[in-house]
Amino acid sequence: MDSPKSDYIRTLRRLPLFTDLSDVELAQIAEGVSRLYFEEGTLIFGEGDVCRELLIVEEGTVKIVKSALSGRQQLLGIERKGSSLAEVAVFDGGRYPASAEATSPTTLLRLSADSFRQICLKNPEMALKVFKVLAHRLRHLVSLVEELSFATVRARLIAYLVRLAEENGHRTPQGIHFQLTENNEQLAVRLGTVRELISRNLGRLHGDKLIEMNKRTVNIPDLAILRDEIGGSI
């Protein structure tokens, strides 16, 4: 039977952050790695908690959410297998800037913040990978701020439906159809609004014959016409 350390080494080798490290370096890292298990719906860390570790998604999915004093939430992203969590807080020694919640049964690898900083000092290639991850997150957040600042709820909803159709849609003679995996409350968190406005705007899009809905199945009769509704607003 393999030892836990051997198992960690194999797992680390498959993760993008660690692919350039030698077996000796991976073995050193594995000494300080542990696994954490979370059921769907479990809070992994809360906004404002002290960050003492780097977390990497081994299996499952994690949503990152920012909360306002009013209680309204904004989805910042969904992290999947191979993604690392809260790199900024690991480097600046601060607190988590948002909350993380498991959205499916999830396994995380835990590495202490001090250990990870030492690894980056010894391995510039790893530090560059982390900077690349942070740059990607920054671009995503700038785009999100632009959407929330300058686009209406209707425009944000249309843009999201268009993206789902392009990525997951199936074309038929009647249009492009796909499944909505999120309910109206989850859509509201994703789009930075409230459930009532999502329901109202979906109803209006249906009434305007821009979309057809049967429970969570969405059909877009003409994607180009729907896309023209938002023009350059996003």
Q: What is the mean pLDDT of the segment spanning 143-152?
A: 72
Token output for 192: 């930075």
pLDDT of residue 233: 54
The long-range contacts involving 9-12, CB below 8 angstroms and separated by at least 24 positions, are 11/58, 11/109, 12/109
What rounded mean pLDDT belongs to the chain? Answer: 85
150 pLDDT tier (thresholds 50, 70, 90): low
Whether residue 37 is predicted with pLDDT greater than 90 in this model: the reply is: yes
Residue 145 DSSP class: H
- Alpha carbon 145 to its chain's center: 16
Percentage of the chain surpassing pLDDT 70?
A: 95
Q: What is the mean pLDDT of the segment spanning 197-224?
A: 91
Q: What is the mean pLDDT of the segment spanning 192-220?
A: 90
107 pLDDT tier (thresholds 50, 70, 90): very high
Token output for 176: 């492009």
Whether residue 83 is predicted with pLDDT greater than 90 in this model: the reply is: no
Q: What is the mean pLDDT of the segment spanning 126-150?
A: 76
SS3 183: coil
Whether residue 232 is predicted with pLDDT greater than 60 in this model: the reply is: no
pLDDT of residue 30: 85
Burial level of 133, CB count in 10 A (0-12/13-18/19+)? middle
Pairing of strands 33-38, 99-102: unpaired
Distances (CA, A) of 27 to 9, 51, 230: 6, 24, 52
19 pLDDT tier (thresholds 50, 70, 90): confident
Torsion angle, CA of 191/80/65/98, rounded to 10 degrees?
A: -140
pLDDT of residue 161: 94
List, for residues 157-167, the tens digit of each pLDDT value: 998 999 999 99
> Cα(55)–Cα(115) distance, rounded to whole angstroms?
12
Q: What are the backbone angles phi and psi of residue 145, rounded to the nearest 5°?
A: -60, -40
Q: What is the mean pLDDT of the segment spanning 187-213?
A: 90
Residue ranges of domains in the chain, CATH in brackets: 4-122 (2.60.120.10), 145-232 (1.10.10.10)
